[in-house]
Amino acid sequence: MAETIAFYTLSVLILGLAVLVVTAKNTVHSVVSLVMTFLCVAALYVVLEAEFLAVIQILVYAGGIVVLYLFVVMLVNVGRPPEEHRDPRRLSVLGLGLAGAMLLEVAGIVAYSYSRSTSSVTAPAGPSPVQGNTEELGWLLYTDYLIPFELASVLLLVAMVGAIVLARRDL
Amino acid sequence: MIDTVFWPLVKIVVLLNAVMVSVTFMTLLERKVIAWAQSRLGPMRVGPYGVLQAIADPIKLILKEDITPAKADKVMFTLAPIMSLVPAFVVFAVIPFGADPFYYVADINVGLLFIVSVTSIGVYGIILAGWASNSKYPLLASLRASAQLISYEIAVTMTLVSLILTAGTLSMVGIVEAQQEAGVWFGFIQPVAFVLVLIGGLAETNRAPFDMPEAEQELTGGFHTEYSGMRFALFFLAEYANMIVISAVIVVLFWGGWLRPFPSVDALAVLDYIPQWCWFFFKMFMVLYLFIWIRATLPRYRYDQLMRIGWKVLIPIAIANVVITAVVKVLL
Amino acid sequence: MMEITPAHYTVLSAALFSIGVIGVLVRRNIIIIFMAIELMLNAVNINLVAHSQQVENLVGQAFVVFVIAVAAAEAAVGLGIILAFYRNKETVNIDEMNVMRW
């Protein structure tokens, strides 16, 4: 019961705020809506008993990435709103249509896969030697997924170097 | 129902009011201590030795006119103080003031990460306040603030990793219990981490000597220049609540939380007669006093010095500390 | 209706993903487009977490960690490109980003 209430409340909040993100006239409003969306998603993770991910979501997304966006929005202090420029070759209506087609496609896939999901997926996971969401996730990341984990760290390093190079004045 | 809803709510209400009252008296303490450091008397008019100044100030702020600048972004201007206040208060939910569950609202198994992540949201209040004011000094201050807070957050979080390695748990209660088992406060095992968290905490709460975002002399008051009345009071409340949070976190992580000194020495068992929460509040008070002392003593850093310390000194030391802690942990 | 199944989460995720697609296809401000991409990544994450909880296997959550890491890298480099572009062309309109060199 509690999960039902939480799910519907959070869903309405997430979708409403996401609509605000893509429709807001002012970029800063959109960034703030994005933060709220991420916080609601984090709450949804708590409902799904993924506490570690909820915290990481807030720490990395809300506390890091979106602050970066806000920072850039303020640095890029455009005199004229970017949406004023109209390219005659650009068809926003077509974009809306394509997005609608995408929604239909995803809905079709969901409906199809759930109509024939007789053989429920069984969990292949072996018993984890540790208890608790954080510990189990850590165990998984440092054993089975060690190489992807290291690759992710290299990716972040490359991104860091790239961002610094791009942000240099003399580019 | 009573156990899961009623008692937590009562605790939350009591805790929030306690925080607000202690913030008002923090301001008085700060003015008094700085006055003494400068051979002045400080507030003396309201009540004996000025103690009622702590009540007079909030009343003045509430009664003042609440001005919204004409060209300000109304929604964000209203939202910004709330966004800086809420994270500061939410964090108190996981701080254990004593061993008994009566003394904390919740003990979640990602407690320390929860604190780090929730306090990282507080930066939005500052950035949005500066932007929504539509005025150049607040905007400069908010850009400074966001850069400063993000930079020092990295150093603090890296330092906390070494603490987590030492304690072996993320739960705040678990960390104190680990210190009880170890028989020694982690402040003695991890002195470097303590200094890093203290410096980082000063920067995260925008306290002197890192009070760049509100440097009065260069930014005419900083990010809250355009704020007045109650909304200014909310920023004030948030800043001091953040100070209390940082001091509580430092006490839990480094100075044994509710534990008495030398928790493993039986000869000092007589100290157990002092209640645990008394130890906690005493240690918190000492850390808060240290913050005020530092503000009264040190001059403000220049902005480039601040960034240099953050990126070129604190972060490398924090990473080295993590590596050394991990090596020692494996070897032992 | 009352019981929350993974299908509910999938529908939520699909809706969020579609909102992100609309943002990418319709808006012209490149910063908003980036944010719409973040929304799409989050939609995927919701799906992964929901199903990982259903099959009681944490691999899905491990994937979410990687998605978040990639999103962070993407945001850093992408915003760096936006800043570099803005310094040269004074615009964040994606329709004006139609030159290969300047």
State yes or no: pLDDT of B309 exceeds 90.
Answer: no
Q: Decide if pLDDT at A12 tops 90.
A: yes
Structure tokens at B27: 């301001």
For residue B140, which of B127, B123, B150 has the smallest C-alpha distance? B127
Judged against a pLDDT cut of 60, whether residue B323 lies above it is answered with: yes
- Judge contact between B329 and B194, C-beta under 8 A: no
Q: Per-residue pLDDT for C5 more than 90? A: no
Q: Give the residue from B52, B197, B187 showing the smallest Cα distance to B115.
A: B197
- The tens digit of pLDDT for each residue in A98-151 reads 878 888 887 787 777 777 665 555 555 555 566 667 888 888 888 888 899 999
**Dist. CA B206–CA B81, nearest whole Å:** 15
CA atoms B238, B244, B245, B246: torsion sign = positive
**Does A90 lie at the interface with B, CB-CB under 8 angstroms?**
no
Phi, psi of B92 (to 5 degrees): -60, -15
- Upstream peptide bond of B209 is cis (omega within 30 degrees of 0): yes
DSSP class of residue C28?
Answer: -
pLDDT tens digit string along B203-250? 888 777 887 766 666 666 677 777 877 888 888 888 888 889 999 999
SS3 of A75-129 = HCCCCCCHHHCCCCCCCHHHHHHHHHHHHHHHHHHHHHHHHCCCCCCCCCCCCCC
C-alpha separations of B156 from A20, A61, B82, B116, C42 in Å: 34, 18, 24, 9, 27
| Contact list, A162 vs chain C (CB under 8 Å) | 76-77, 80
Chains sharing 3 or more CB pairs under 8 A with chain B: A
Give the gyration radius of chain A's Cα atoms.
Answer: 21
C and B adjacent (3 or more CB pairs under 8 angstroms): no
Look at residues B15, B317, B69, B32 and name the one whose alpha carbon lies nearest to residue B194.
Answer: B317
Chains in touch with A (≥3 Cβ pairs < 8 A): B, C
Note whether A34 contacts C39, CB cutoff 8 Å.
yes
Which of these ranges, A117-121, B191-195, C53-57, has the smallest mean pLDDT? A117-121
pLDDT at A17 over 90: yes
Residue B131, chain A, CB below 8 Å: the answer is yes
The answer to whether B76 faces chain A, any CB pair under 8 Å, is yes
**Which of C22, C37, C52 would best serve as a mutation to test chain A binding (most A beta carbons within 10 A)?**
C22
- Percent of chain A past pLDDT 70, that is, above it, reads 79
Per-residue pLDDT reduced to its tens digit, B46-69: 888 888 888 888 888 888 888 778
Which CATH number does C6-96 carry? 1.10.287.3510
Instruction: Give the domain ranges of chain A.
Output: 1-78, 130-171
Residues of C in contact with A136 (CB under 8 A): 58
Rounded to the nearest integer, the mean pLDDT of chain A is: 81
Percent of chain C topping pLDDT 70: 95
B216 or A57: which leads in pLDDT: A57
| Angle between helix C6-26 and helix A2-23 axes, rounded to 10 deg | 10
The DSSP H or E segment spanning B46 is none
- Which residue from C22, C35, C73 is facing A31, i.e. has the nearest CB? C35
Task: Render pLDDT for B18-27 as a digit per residue (tens, 0 to 9).
Answer: 888 888 888 8
Assign B84 a pLDDT band (cuts: 50, 70, 90). confident
Do C36 and A22 touch, CB atoms closer than 8 A?
Answer: yes
Residue C102 pLDDT more than 80?
A: no
Residue type for position A38: F
For residue B188, pLDDT over 80 is answered with yes
A119: left (phi over 0), alpha (psi -120 to 50) or beta: beta
Whether pLDDT at A83 is above 60: no
Give the pLDDT score at B203.
Answer: 86
Written as one letter, the residue type at B24 is T
ipTM computed for the complex: 0.90
CB under 8 A, 24+ apart: contacts of A144-147: A144/C59, A144/C62, A145/C62, A145/C66
For residue A56, give the nearest of C28, C30, C68 by CB distance.
C68
Contact A133 B109 (CB under 8 A): yes
Predicted pLDDT of residue A124? 53
Domain A1-78 classified CATH 1.20.120.1200?
yes
Distance CA B254, CA B197 (A): 10
| Averaged pLDDT of chain B | 85
Q: Which among B114, B123, B131 has the least Cβ separation from residue A67?
A: B123
Out of A41, A56, A144, the one facing C42 most closely (by C-beta) is A41
The residues near A154 (Cβ < 8 Å, ≥ 6 apart) are none
Residues 14-73 of A with CB under 8 A from C: 14-15, 18-19, 21-22, 27, 30-31, 34, 37-38, 41, 44-45, 48-50, 52-53, 56-57, 60-61, 64-65, 68-69, 72-73
For residue C93, report the phi and psi dihedrals to the nearest 5 degrees. -80, 130
Sorted by sequence, the CB contacts under 8 Å of residue B62 that are 6+ apart come out as: B229, B230, B233
**What pLDDT is attached to residue C37?**
92
What pLDDT is attached to residue B58? 84
The pLDDT value recorded for residue A67 is 86
Asked whether the predicted pLDDT for residue B90 surpasses 80, the reply is: yes
pLDDT at A81 over 80: no
H or E element in which residue B241 lies: helix B229-254
CB contact under 8 A, C58 and A160: no
- CB-based contact B168:B178 (threshold 8 Å): yes
DSSP element (H, E) containing B96: none
Give the residue, B207 or B112, on which the prediction is more confident: B112
Q: How far apart are CA B201 and CA B291, in angstroms?
A: 10
Residue of A nearest to C64 (CA): A53
Share of residues in chain C with pLDDT > 90 (%)? 22
Q: Which of C69, B312, B149, B318 is nearest to A63 (CA)?
A: B149
What pLDDT score was predicted for residue A122? 52
Given B76, B79, B114, which is nearest A55 (Cβ)?
A: B114
pLDDT greater than 70 at residue A86: no
Domain boundaries, chain B: 2-331
- Per-residue tokens: B305: 């010095």
* Between B303 and A42, residue with greater pLDDT: A42
Closest residue, chain A, to C76 (C-alpha):
A163
Determine the pLDDT at residue B237.
87
- Greatest alpha-carbon pair distance for chain C in Å reads 58
In this structure, the dihedral spanned by the alpha carbons of residues B29, B31, B37 and B39, taken in order and rounded to 10 degrees, is -120
Mean pLDDT to the nearest integer, B82-88? 89
B153–A39 CB contact, under 8 Å:
no
- Rounded distance, CA A126 to CA A142, Å? 15
- Tell me the mean pLDDT in the region A86-103: 74
Listed as own residue / partner, the contacts of B262-270 with beta carbons closer than 8 Å and 24 or more positions apart are: B263/B179, B263/B180, B263/B183, B263/B184, B263/B185, B264/B183, B264/B184
Q: How confident is the model at residue A39 (pLDDT cuts 50, 70, 90)?
A: very high
**Between A88 and B256, residue with greater pLDDT:** B256
Chain-centroid distance, C-alpha A102: 18
Which pLDDT score, from 0 to 100, does residue C87 have? 82
Q: Contact at 8 Å (CB) between B257 and B103?
A: no
